[in-house]
Amino acid sequence: MQDNKASALAGRKVIVTGGAGFIGSHLCEALVDLGAEVLCMDDLSAGKRTNVAHLENKSNRPNFRFAQLDICDSSSAMDDAFEGVDTVFHNAASKKNVCLIDPHRDLEVNAGGALNLLQMAKKHGVRKFVQASTGSVYGEPQIFPTTETHPFEPVSYYGVSKLAGERYVDVFHKLYGLDTTILRYFHVYGPRQESNEFGGVVSIFLRRITQGQNPIVFGHGDQVRSFTWVKDLVEANIRAAVDPAATGQAFNAASGIRVTINELAQGMLDILDPERRLMIEHGEPLVGDIMEFDVSNAKIREQLGIEFVADFWGTLRTALSDVDAFLGRGETAGIAA
- Per annotation, catalytic residue among 158, 168, 185, 189: 158
- SS3 string, the chain, reads CCCCCHHHHCCCEEEEECCCCHHHHHHHHHHHHHCCEEEEECCCCCCCHHHHHHHHCCCCCCCEEEECCCCCCCCHHHHHHHCCCCEEEECCCCCCCHHHHCHHHHHHHHHHHHHHHHHHHHHCCCCEEEEEEEHHHHCCCCCCCECCCCCCCCCCHHHHHHHHHHHHHHHHHHHHCCEEEEEEECCEECCCCCCCCCCCHHHHHHHHHHCCCCCEEECCCCCEECCEEHHHHHHHHHHHHHCHHHCCEEEEECCCCCEEHHHHHHHHHHHHCCCCCCCCEEECCCCCCCCECCECCHHHHHHHCCCCCCCHHHHHHHHHCCHHHHHCCCCCCCCCC
Q: CA 92 to CA 114: how far, in whole Å?
A: 9
Total Cβ atoms within 10 A of residue 283: 9
Q: CA 305 to CA 3: how far, in whole Å?
A: 12
Biggest CA–CA distance in the chain, Å, is: 60
Is 189 part of the annotated catalytic residue set?
no
Q: CA 135 to CA 202: how far, in whole Å?
A: 17
Q: Answer yes or no: are the C-beta atoms of 132 and 186 closer than 8 Å.
A: no
Q: Answer yes or no: are the C-beta atoms of 191 and 328 closer than 8 Å.
A: yes
Q: Which residues are catalytic?
A: 158
